[in-house]
């Protein structure tokens, strides 16, 4: 529970600016073939555009004469429907994504290589794509070449250098029209080594890269000289961290990188129902979903249906990997996926390293209530509101304490604003990450007031993935010294004190031991300190969210407080 303190703080509308980086670009890929699914069909009009900054229509193809064409006959009608969504969200940008995994299979697998190897072919492409963009109202293109140079994907030796030349030629042609240009890139070094990232993301080339941090594992791992036929999650935060380290190792600005999020799961058929954890052998892909109709893949909405049918007894949360997996169909099928909890962890990581946004593959695999989209972005419109900015202007005193934020994204910062004469002293960041250096449990002592929160604090090289760091400043007095607990079972406070909590797990002192269930102690605080707005903070069982709100101070710690269950890892704050 927290208590209001006399120090007045004027807060910016957002506690930490880092979150803006993950929300700067909110790109939703739309699969053109989703409109023709036998069930759960999605037309462009089904897309919730309010939460998105970009829609990437997937895919367009390239003809043997290097002109942009429909992937499937009739797609141009869907192009028109997709760009028409800008009437619902005037700031929305719609890109045409060109290529895709299947396009890099025979017989079209060599087209990209031939395109980028020739200035003549490139000019034909540019003329064609400009015509398509003008006719259908696209705002840019996204190149999805999977993968240059790789001989198993139809690549050629000169692709790495030629790809850069191609992107620069396209960008030069786009500048007059202010069109955008992005490309996709893999998460694995095997294919990534053939991308000249620094030059592909030069100022005269692509605007940003969409990093495909999904499909990390699947049945393609099967050959023994690869990983082998063992089940592993298709998305894994630990591996994603390693991916972005590869990008930063070659000097890529984090603001030019967008992290991929999957609204689907990869599914396997297990060899035995007695071995169902990651690393267990698989026999092949699990049966296709009724609507996705693709063995080894389940849409988010199909996974929801399975959970509704079989329950959550076989659902496992892998906290280190920030992913969940489910065993179903008589314990013989296995699927990994993201939900609100794990999507939040990935979004928090995106913020912590100051990436330029997130992209979704794909929005049409969500349910009709937009459960996955809402879990990822929430009410983005409200969170980006600038209405309160004017309340801060003019209130800054000399040398306000500044929360450090991301580098490479401008000069944005957050200032803690205090009345003249009340500037805080002896401030320190608390809550360095523990448990695989991912979980932060930042909280102030009872003689400290919370001034601000951040994923980075003063040690940006060790960001929080779960939880947050807190900036604590010492107060003039320890409010907790005015509070005591009664013996177990006592519900009344002495004269001059008021009850501010009951059912506490510890009565009187630690020496007295724990109180039994239904026989808890009462927290009593002297009326003279004038406590207001007191509340418990910390959601069992982990209670990692136990920091008091900004501007409040801790008066008591307890393992249970007013909750029906107790904390296992941490304590609840009041």
Domains in the chain with CATH codes: 7-14+388-474 (no CATH), 19-258+341-378 (3.20.20.80), 479-573 (no CATH)
Three-point CA angle 164, 168, 172, nearest 5°:
175
Q: What is the pLDDT of residue 476?
A: 66
pLDDT, averaged per 10 consecutive residues of the chain (574 residues), comes to 30 36 93 96 95 97 98 96 95 98 95 98 98 97 98 94 99 97 95 97 98 90 81 92 94 96 96 93 94 95 94 90 92 93 92 94 95 84 31 32 40 46 68 70 76 71 73 74 86 90 66 66 86 80 70 76 62 58
**Are 20 and 49 in contact, with CB atoms under 8 Å apart?**
no
**Are 273 and 331 in contact, with CB atoms under 8 Å apart?**
yes
Burial class (CB in 10 A: 0-12, 13-18, 19+), 511: exposed
End-to-end Cα separation, the chain, in angstroms: 2
Return phi, psi of residue 350, to 5°. -55, -45
**Across the strands, what pairs with 501?**
523
Inter-axis angle of helices 119-136 and 159-174, nearest 10:
40
Q: What is the pLDDT of residue 176?
A: 94
Q: What is the pLDDT of residue 15?
A: 31
DSSP one-letter code for 220: G
How long, in residues, is the chain? Answer: 574
**Are 209 and 183 in contact, with CB atoms under 8 Å apart?**
yes
CA of 19: how far to CAs of 14, 207, 358, 368, 396, in Å? Answer: 9, 21, 12, 27, 22
Cis before residue 541, ω within 30 degrees of 0? Answer: yes
DSSP one-letter code for 40: S
Q: How many helices (H) and strands (E) does the chain have?
A: 14, 28
Q: How far is CA 184 from the centre of its chain?
A: 18
Q: What is the pLDDT of residue 385?
A: 32
Buried b / exposed e over 409-433, threshold 16 CB at 10 Å, is: beeeebbbbbeeeebbeebebbbeb
Rounded CA-CA distance 196/502 in Å is 62
pTM: 0.68
Q: What is the pLDDT of residue 570?
A: 52
**Are 471 and 452 in contact, with CB atoms under 8 Å apart?**
yes
* In 273-339, alpha helices (H): 300-310
User: Which among 26, 29, 85, 89 is positioned nearest to 56, based on CA atoms?
Assistant: 29
For the CA atoms of 31, 36, 37, 38, what is the dihedral angle to 10 degrees? 180
- The residue with tokens 């009345």 is 419
- The residue with tokens 């034909």 is 124
**Are 553 and 531 in contact, with CB atoms under 8 Å apart?**
no
Residues 6+ apart with CB under 8 A from 253: 201, 408
Percent of the chain that is helix, strand, coil (3-state, to 5): 30, 25, 45
Q: What is the pLDDT of residue 104?
A: 93
Rounded CA-CA distance 171/206 in Å is 7
User: Which among 173, 161, 171, 170 is positioned nearest to 199, based on CA atoms?
Assistant: 161
Residues 6+ apart with CB under 8 A from 395: 10, 417
**Are 96 and 133 in contact, with CB atoms under 8 Å apart?**
yes
Q: What is the pLDDT of residue 405?
A: 43
What are the tokens at 531? 């406590």
Rounded CA-CA distance 573/544 in Å is 10
Rounded CA-CA distance 559/548 in Å is 15
Q: How many CB atoms lie within 10 A of CB 46?
A: 16
SS (H, E, C) 223-256: CCCCCCCECCCCCCHHHHHHHHHHHHHCCCCHHH
What are the tokens at 398? 């000399």
Residues 6+ apart with CB under 8 A from 297: 264, 265, 266, 267, 288, 289
Q: What is the pLDDT of residue 394?
A: 31
Note every long-range contact of 189-192, with CB atoms under 8 Å and residues 24 or more positions apart, other chains counting.
Answer: 189/246, 191/146, 191/147, 191/150, 191/153, 192/246
């Amino acid at each position: 529970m927290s208590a209001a303190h006399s120090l007045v703080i004027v807060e910016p509308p957002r506690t930490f600016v880092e979150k803006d980086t993950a929300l700067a670009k909110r790109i939703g890929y739309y699969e053109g073939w989703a409109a023709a699914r036998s069930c759960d069909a999605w037309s462009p009009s089904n897309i919730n555009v309010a939460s998105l900054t970009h829609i990437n229509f997937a895919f367009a193809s390239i003809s043997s004469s290097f002109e942009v064409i429909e992937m499937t006959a009739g797609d141009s009608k869907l192009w028109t429907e997709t760009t028409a969504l800008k009437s619902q969200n005037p700031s929305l940008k719609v890109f045409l994504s060109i290529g895709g995994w299947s396009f890099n299979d025979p017989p079209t697998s060599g087209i990209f290589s031939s395109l980028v190897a020739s200035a003549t072919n490139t000019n034909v492409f540019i003329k064609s794509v400009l015509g398509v963009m003008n006719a259908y109202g696209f705002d840019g293109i996204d190149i999805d070449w999977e993968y240059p140079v790789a001989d198993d994907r139809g690549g050629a030796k000169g692709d790495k250098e030629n790809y850069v030349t191609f992107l620069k030629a396209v960008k030069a042609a786009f500048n007059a029209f202010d069109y955008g240009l992005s490309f996709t890139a893999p998460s694995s070094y095997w294919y990534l080594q053939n991308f000249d990232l620094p030059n592909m993301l030069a100022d005269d080339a692509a605007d940003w890269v969409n990093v495909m941090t999904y499909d990390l594992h699947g049945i393609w791992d099967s050959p023994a000289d690869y990983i082998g036929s063992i089940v592993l999650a298709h998305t894994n935060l630990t591996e994603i961290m390693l991916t972005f380290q590869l990008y930063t190792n070659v000097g890529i600005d984090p603001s030019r990188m967008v992290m991929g999020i999957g609204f689907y799961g990869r599914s396997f058929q297990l060899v035995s129902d007695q071995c169902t954890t990651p690393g267990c052998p698989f026999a092949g892909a699990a049966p296709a979903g009724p609507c996705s109709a693709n063995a080894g893949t389940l849409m988010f909405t199909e996974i929801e249906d399975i959970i509704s049918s079989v329950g959550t007894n076989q659902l496992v949360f892998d906290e280190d990997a920030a992913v969940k997996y489910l065993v179903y169909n008589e314990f013989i099928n296995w699927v990994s996926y993201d939900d609100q909890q794990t999507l939040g962890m990935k979004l928090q990581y995106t913020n912590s390293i100051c990436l330029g946004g997130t992209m979704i593959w794909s929005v049409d695999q969500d349910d009709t209530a937009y459960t996955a989209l809402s879990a990822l972005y929430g009410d983005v419109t409200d969170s980006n509101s600038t209405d309160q900015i004017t309340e801060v202007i003019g209130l800054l005193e000399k040398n306000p304490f500044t929360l450090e934020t991301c580098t490479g994204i401008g000069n944005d910062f957050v200032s803690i604003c205090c009345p003249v004469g009340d500037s805080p002293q002896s401030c320190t960041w608390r809550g360095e990450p523990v448990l695989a250096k991912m979980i932060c449990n930042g909280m102030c002592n009872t003689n400290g007031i919370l001034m601000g929160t951040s994923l980075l604090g003063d040690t940006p090289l060790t960001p929080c993935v779960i939880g947050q760091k807190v900036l604590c400043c010492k107060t003039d007095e320890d409010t907790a010294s005015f509070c005591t607990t009664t013996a177990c079972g006592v519900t009344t406070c002495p004269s001059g004190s008021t009850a501010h909590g009951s059912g506490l797990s510890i009565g009187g002192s630690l020496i007295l031991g724990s109180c039994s269930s239904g026989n808890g102690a009462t927290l009593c605080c002297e009326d003279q300190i004038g406590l207001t707005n007191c509340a418990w903070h910390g959601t069992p069982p982990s209670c990692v969210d136990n920091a008091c709100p900004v501007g409040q101070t801790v008066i008591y710690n307890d393992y249970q407080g007013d909750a029906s269950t107790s904390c296992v890892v941490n304590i609840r704050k009041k």
